[in-house]
Amino acid sequence: DIQMTQSPSSLSASVGDRVTITCQASQDISNYLNWYQQKPGKAPKLLIYDASNLQTGVPSRFSGSGSGTDFTFTISSLQPEDIATYYCQQYDIVPLAFGQGTRLEIK
């Protein structure tokens, strides 16, 4: 099974900051990597698919990059409404796997 290691597990940043989260796969997953945002008490929301494609309707301050085993998720200018937990997810091989999540807080 593929393991997804996300870091950091929590992050505190100020409004306007650039925020970066990394996700590492235990083996090559090409670009079969997605990023989701989950706010407390809500279902996850797709932000980025296939490593770097922005889902329709998602603000352009969100972006993703990477391929193979190493991936990065970036918020270019943190907004108050971005407070949430972020998850990466691989879908190269079943069983699908999520990273353990990164909890983002405002400083």
Partner 1 sequence: QVQLVESGGGVVQPGRSLRLSCAASGFILSNYGMHWVRQAPGKGLEWVAVISYDGSNKFYADSMRGRFTISRDNSKNTLYLQMNSLRAEDTAVYYCARALGVTYVFDIWGQGTMVTVSS
Q: Which residues lie near partner 1 (CB under 8 A)?
A: 1, 32, 34, 36, 38, 42-46, 49-50, 55, 87, 89, 91, 94-101
Distance CA 25, CA 88 (A): 10
* Minimum distance, C-beta of residue 105 to partner 1, in the bound complex (Å): 16
C-alpha separations of 76 from 31, 51, 73, 79, 107 in Å: 21, 16, 10, 9, 16
CA distance 75 to 101: 15
Cβ closest to partner 1, residue 78 vs residue 89: 89
- Is the CB of 71 or the CB of 87 nearer to partner 1? 87
**Closer by beta carbon to partner 1, 5 or else 77:** 5
